[in-house]
Amino acid sequence: MTMNLPASFAGISAAVYQLGVAADRGFTVSGPGAGALISAVTEMREVVVAALDNAVRFGQEPALGQTPAAQVYKPFMASIATDPVQGFIPFLERLQQDLVDAEAALRKSMAAYDGSDQTGTGVIVAAGSAKGIVT
């Protein structure tokens, strides 16, 4: 089974975009569910930031020696990290932004849930008060 990595990476951005659209349209996530998701996203973002802090090393040619094969592989390996379209560093930068956007969408969804929950509670209390029910 072959995997199309650039398409997979684009899928992450597409999913985050859809999460943002859903949040804009009133999609809600309950506090505990959103908290767990936000925690996971935050942890992933911290790992990506740490990797980007060391990204300079990824773009350097590795010390593979002076053999003819090493001379071919050294620049190739550095370009894998830095290629602007399919490189590892640009992917990490996109992933970092996607994680920031995902966290914002989750926080917005959580706030919408909290708001609708409080509104619902207010309606129930008001209805109970109108019927003479004490809360």
Answer yes or no: are the C-beta atoms of 122 and 81 closer than 8 Å: no
DSSP state of 35: H
Tell me if residue 83 falls in helix, strand or coil: coil
Contacts with 65 (C-beta within 8 Å, 6 or more apart), sequence order: none
CB 115, CB 75: distance < 8 Å: no
**pLDDT score of 1 more than 50:** no
How many Cα neighbours within 13 Å face the side chain of 124?
7
pLDDT tens string 50-104: 999 988 888 888 888 899 998 888 888 888 888 888 888 988 999 999 999 999 9
Neighbours of 22 (CB within 10 A): 15
Amino acid at 113: Y
pLDDT at 8: 66
Quick one: 46 exposed, middle or buried, by C-beta within 10 A (0-12, 13-18, 19+)?
exposed
**Prediction pTM value:** 0.68
What is the tens place of the pLDDT at every residue in 113-132? Answer: 765 555 555 555 555 555 56
Q: What 8-state DSSP symbol labels residue 30? A: -
Whole-number Å distance between alpha carbons of 61 and 39: 36
